[in-house]
Structure 1
Amino acid sequence: MNTRTTARAGAAAAALLSLAACVPVQPVRPAPPREDVTGVPVGARTVREGGDLVMGLSSEPDRLDPTTSSSLYTRYVMNAVCEKLYDIDAEGEIVPQLAAALPSVSPDGLTVTIPVRTDPVFADGTPFDASAVATTLTRNLTLEGSTRRSELGPLEEVSAPDASTVVLRYARPFSPITAALADRAGMVMSPTALEQRGEEFGDHPVCVGPFRFAERVPQTSIRVERDPLYYAADEVHLDSITYRIMNDANIRAANLRSGDVQVADSLSPQDIDALAREEGVGLLQTGSYGYQAVTFNVGNTDGAGEPPGRIDTPLATDPRVREAFSLAVDRTALVNSVFNDYYEPACSFLSPDSTFSTPASEACPPHDPQRAKQLLAEAGVALPYRIRLATSNTADSLRLAQALQASVADTGFQVVIEPIEYSTLLDVQSEGDFEAVQLGWSGRVDPHGNTSSFLTTGAGSNYSGYSNPEADDLVRRASQSTDPAERAELYGRLVQVVQRDNPLVYLYRVRSTTGYVSRGEDAVAGIETYSDGVVRLGRAAFVQSDE
């Protein structure tokens, strides 16, 4: 443990004084069914053109650079300013956005041809074409610190033979490419801005989108304004959107009730039932392709993306200790006690709602404290075994950490909680400056997006420093296959490997819950949120209330 982590421990202890010492675990009961509501359409209501919409954003985004960013909240902002080659719709289907159609693939799977549109214009006036796409994809492959590189697979060459065609040549087939280009890897950046700003692009991103970046006040807000050059400008109604940073869920809920914000993300399950009864407040909610987990540092000595090193602790070197932790966790009781049954227990990277889900991938390690104690005894560790757990300093995250602390205590684990501000926690995770960290991933429609970057050796988001040739091989083979049944079987086998090694212990899946003002002068519509976790505001508008 280095000196930065030790210094944080004192601050963590002070921060926890205001919280209850433990969280009681309630009796397990079945969660009520939840109905997905992915959008509020404008419909026949009268649109009030213009205005500034304010969204209460639960955490500060990291740098607004599609190549390097790793935060869900960055995706919220970038969704308004940086369109992608592809997107997903409310049903999770991949649809063209800046591409003109879905890709065509050669019979050998090694050449992918993407037709692109030529009518868009970047916010700085640069024409959009295949060459601009090639520039972006090349940057994603070559920029130091890129977290998109592994998402693009074994890509050997990117070319633009004409203005409307991009050709990708692969060393071996790579079936997840379309899904990868439906997220940050497919956000196309202005080549003019890239040439002018280089690695500083994220300070003033320039893309194609309904809005363009205007300003950022660190730790306070990000503002974007309507882009008059946008190819569908007639479909954009707002003058601007201000993303106001509000880390406290109670404050977001209070501002939503008062109308000081018109949209708020990541509402706490503690507030949802009351908000659902609130006059003038509407709720969007949907399941998630992602997960929340505890990541153990088993080899991240030089930062994510670097070759793994050795960490000489039982937690890092002995998988029995990590398996004991997994068996000590009562996932269902955690969800019940901390999140009012609103979320779902999770035991793998693959959502049961995925088309690739199988009984093997849905299998969950039991809550087995006796076996956990036996494994710790076999590992020969002194008890209680102490683990420092870094976590976000939000109320829900701290409630979860305390419930987790209580859940594993009788087994022989002593969890020491280190609360850290979210954007700082992302750096801590990436740098490997942790023993264990509780964070999550918002999820991708293709399982490759939940696995390759996190579980393959040296990948850009492999925060645990995990390295297992068997896991590497399964991820590679699944990405090469074009047979959905074969891919599903391979991901099921990968789940078994991960549950044996436990570099990550998966805990639960959130329901993405977004509140909006539904009545009065600040009523809004045209908001959408899908299972990728992103709140979409590009077509949002103030509307005349139904009152």
Structure 2
Amino acid sequence: MKRLMQIFASFAMLLPVVAWAEPQKGGVIDVATIGEPPTLDPMASTADLVGIVTQNIYETLYTFDKDWGVTPLLAADMPKVSGDGLTYTIPLRTGVKFHDGSDMDSADVVASLQRWMKVATRGKQAAEVIKAVDAPDANTVKITLGKPFAPLLSLLSLNNAAAIIIPSENAGQDPLTSFVGTGPYMLKDRKPDQFIQLVRFDAYKSRDGEPNGYGGARKQYLDEIRFVPVPDPNTRVEGAVAGQFAYVDSLPVESFAKISSGKTKPVILKPFGWPVFVMNTKQGLNADIRIRKAIQAALAPNDMLLAAFGSPDFFAVDGAMYPQGYKWHTETGTEPYKPEGDTEAAAALLKEAGYDGSKPLRILTSRQYEFHYKMAQVAAEYLKAAGFKVELDVVEWATLTKNRTDPALWDIYITHSPFLPEPSLTGIMSDTSPGWWVSDRKHKVLDAFNAEPDPAKRVELWAPVQQAIYDEVPAFKVGDFNALAAQAPNLQGVTPAPWPYFWNAYLEGK
């Protein structure tokens, strides 16, 4: 009962904060993150860490509200869509300034979206159907498609591999060297492995109205936000207990009781998302679907999740890509998902593939997300039992995000994802995302799903996509998990979210 009361108390932090008076401006917060981001260019990375930091600096045309619906951000309104679904006419907000003092207009948006389509994995995904991006006038952008594409607005809304809007003169940079956006905070200083310092952008133009998830008003109460890389999870726990940070992201869930008795309070996001083993289908061992199916059979989700999260309070053994309660939930195709694994079936598939154990299965992982590493250790034992020779490559998270772009370096890499509001935002849906899943079957079912504008019909069309994922095994979903963070009692106005944001946050008593 005491345990349940602790958990219920942590859920209370998920309730909206009611401010009886406008908070005073001022104060500096330190936010502990899992490490140093590999880049401050959110177009160039799908890493959550990059999105968490850079969403305060840059903005997109659209974003997500509290119900995960698409809502305007730099766009003045939702787009006007032609009857055939091929033309999106987007009005832009006026009076929006970049951090360098220049005004944002349609030329900046066109140049930014063109860069996005060349640099970002999700931009490349959209580029397959985008015929043109034009500017009818200074305050309007028109996107013309070659065929209907329902995920377009969601792709334009996400904060990683993000369609950020930057000054047109910077859009030719690759890599990005001028970190200038329109966001509520701007980059002042970065000392690698020490901190990333953001300060209030005084010329920021917020949307009117009330805050609404990632959308709505973005108020700037804090003077400064410092993101501090703390790669070791135990150090993050001790920092949270000691009250060293105002917010600590991605804590091991087994530290819940310890955090509860410290100077910061636990924040639980339930359910948060899903750990995933991504297969390199492009080259190496996993280019052979029989090897991928052997891995699928060998892995034991129940033991992997138990090792990673310690208690069923923090995970669920679930093979569906979306859990019950989500409109995308379906059990279609999940028969190969065996909670305890099937070593004999895996061994038979390896024999059929002619695998003799001479070539190691290389698993790329990191200890900065400690649950990734624990799952890798358990997975390795089950894979060895099936007949695999296994090699764990344990690196820093920034190194992992770099190495996963080279298909010669790995066979599996371990990551995780929140339950995204649009399935086509999932990394494996892009042909160019590390893993490089490309097949006629994928394109047939995914194209039908993406071309359908009717929401109810899209739900039905998602089932064949999940079936293809299980049949072709571009990735292995381990299960569902809850996430744990910690927040100082005097830090208010923070809405728990997969990518925590700190506009609208303030320090009580300032």
Gaps of at least 5 residues in structure 2 are: 1-6, 207-216
Deviation sequence 1:342-361 (CA, Å, 0-9, x none): 13335354454432222316
* Paired residues of 1:383 and 1:413 also in contact (CA < 8 A): yes
Residue number among 176, 179, 192 corresponding to 1:218 in the alignment: 192
State the Cα distance separating 1:469 from its structure 2 match: 0.7
Kept in 1, the 8 Å contact 2:428–2:474? The answer is no
1:411 is aligned, of 379, 382, 386, to 386
Q: 2:101 aligns with which of 118, 125, 135?
A: 125
Change (3 A) 1:503 1:415: same
Post-superposition offset of 1:418: 1.5
SS of the residue aligned with 1:149?
helix
The 5 A counterparts of 1:190-205 are: 190-194=167-171, 198-201=173-176, 203-205=177-179
Give the Cα–Cα distance (whole angstroms) in 2 for the partners of residues 337 and 150 of structure 1: 35
> Shift of residue 384 of structure 1?
8.9
C-alpha displacement at 1:216, in angstroms?
1.4
Residue by residue, what CA displacement relative to the aligned partner does 1:259-285 show, whole Å, maximum 9, x if unpaired?
221101111112123323445424242
Cα distance 1:102–1:168, how it changes in 2: closer, same or farther (>3 A)? same
Matched with 1:281 is 265
SS class of match (2:470): helix
Structure 1 residue 374 displacement after superposition: 2.7
Per the alignment, residue 359 of structure 1 pairs with: 331
Q: Secondary structure at the match of 2:43?
A: coil
Partner of 1:186: 163
Instruction: Write the letter of the residue equivalent to 1:215.
Output: D
**Residue of structure 2 in register with 1:490 after alignment:** 461
**Counterpart residue number, 2:50:** 74
C-alpha distance in structure 2 between counterparts of 1:391 and 1:446, whole Å: 26
2:347 to 370, 373, 379: 373
Residue in structure 2 matching 1:100, options 55, 76, 82 = 76
Output the CA distance in 2 between the equivalents of 1:298 and 1:333.
26
Instruction: Give 1:134's aligned amino acid.
Output: V
**CA distance in structure 1 between the partners assigned to 2:474 and 2:298 by the alignment:** 15
How far is the alpha carbon of 1:114 from its aligned partner?
1.5
Counterpart for residue 544 of structure 1: 509
Q: 1:293, CA displacement in angstroms? A: 1.7
Q: 1:348 to 1:504 in 2, by over 3 A?
A: farther
1:237-271 superposed Cα distances (whole Å, 9 cap, x missing partner): 11111100001122112112222211011111121
In the superposition, the TM-score normalised over structure 2's length comes to 0.87
Structure 1: how far apart are the matches of 2:100 and 2:246?
29
Q: 2:486 is aligned with what amino acid?
A: G
- How far residue 334 of structure 1 moved from its aligned partner, in angstroms, is 1.8
How many corresponding residue pairs? 485
Match of 2:248 in 1: 264
Contact 1:276 1:283 in 2 (8 A): no
Could you tell me how far 1:229 is from its partner in structure 2? 0.7
Q: Distance in 2 between matches of 1:42 and 1:264?
A: 23
Which residue number in structure 2 is paired with residue 237 of structure 1?
Answer: 221
Q: Is the 8 A contact 1:286 1:513 kept in 2?
A: no
User: Does the 8 A contact of 1:68 with 1:148 survive in 2?
Assistant: no
In structure 2, C-alpha distance between the alignment counterparts of 1:75 and 1:353, rounded to whole Å: 26
In the alignment, structure 1 residue 325 sits paired with structure 2 residue 327: no
Superposed CA RMSD in Å reads 2.7
From the superposition, tell whether residues 92 and 353 of structure 1 become closer, same or farther in structure 2 (CA, over 3 Å): farther
1-structure distance, mates of 2:425, 2:190:
29
Asked if 1 retains the 8 angstrom alpha-carbon contact of 2:242 and 2:262, the reply is no
Q: Distance in 2 between matches of 1:59 and 1:474?
A: 37
Of residues 513, 517, 533, the one that matches 2:484 is 513
Q: Give CA-to-partner distance per residue, 1:291-341, whole Å, 9 cap, x none.
A: 3222222315xxxxxxxxxx4x4x432x22221221222212321232022
Is 1:425 the counterpart of 2:400? The answer is: yes
Q: Partner residue of 1:460?
A: 432
Residue 138 of structure 1 aligns with which residue?
Answer: 114
Deviations 1:73-131 (A, max 9, x none): 11011111112222212322222211122222111111111222113211111112333
Q: Distance in 1 between matches of 2:91 and 2:44?
A: 26
What's the % identity of the aligned pairs? 22
* Cα contact 2:184–2:200 (8 A) shared by 1: yes
- Deviates further, 346-355 or 252-261: 346-355
Show the counterpart of 2:17: 41
Given that 1:61 and 1:72 are in contact with CA atoms closer than 8 Å, whether structure 2 keeps it comes out as no
The corresponding residue for 1:338 is 308
| One-letter amino acid of the structure 1 residue matched with residue 64 of structure 2 | I
State the alpha-carbon separation in 2 of the partners of residues 321 and 484 from structure 1: 36
CA distance in 2, matches of 1:45, 1:258: 30
In structure 2, how many angstroms separate the alpha carbons of the residues matched to 1:493 and 1:146?
Answer: 23
Amino acid at match of 1:492: A
Per mean C-alpha deviation after superposition, the further-off stretch among 476-485 and 46-55 is 46-55
Provide closer, same or farther for how the CA distance between residues 343 and 244 of structure 1 changes in structure 2, counting only shifts above 3 A.
same
1:488-536: CA deviation from partner (whole Å, max 9, x where unpaired): 2332212222212212122133433321101xxxx10111233xx2111
CA contact (8 A) 2:74 2:92 kept: yes
Equivalent position of 2:182 in the other structure: 208
Residue from 361, 369, 379 that aligns with 1:387: 361
Kindly indicate whether the alpha-carbon contact (under 8 Å) linking 1:384 and 1:412 is maintained by their aligned counterparts in 2: no
**How far does residue 379 in structure 1 lie from its aligned partner after superposition?**
2.9
Whether the 8 Å contact between 2:240 and 2:263 is mirrored in structure 1 is no
Note the alpha carbon deviations across 1:339-392, whole angstroms, 9 max, x for none: 022133353544544322223166662233332233233334335984221111
What is the TM-score when the length of structure 1 is the normalising length? 0.82
Aligned partner letter, 1:204: S
Structure 1 residues 53, 235: closer, same or farther in 2, change over 3 A?
A: same
Tell me, yes or no, if structure 1 residue 525 matches structure 2 residue 492: yes
Aligned counterpart for 1:52 among listed residues 28, 33, 38: 28
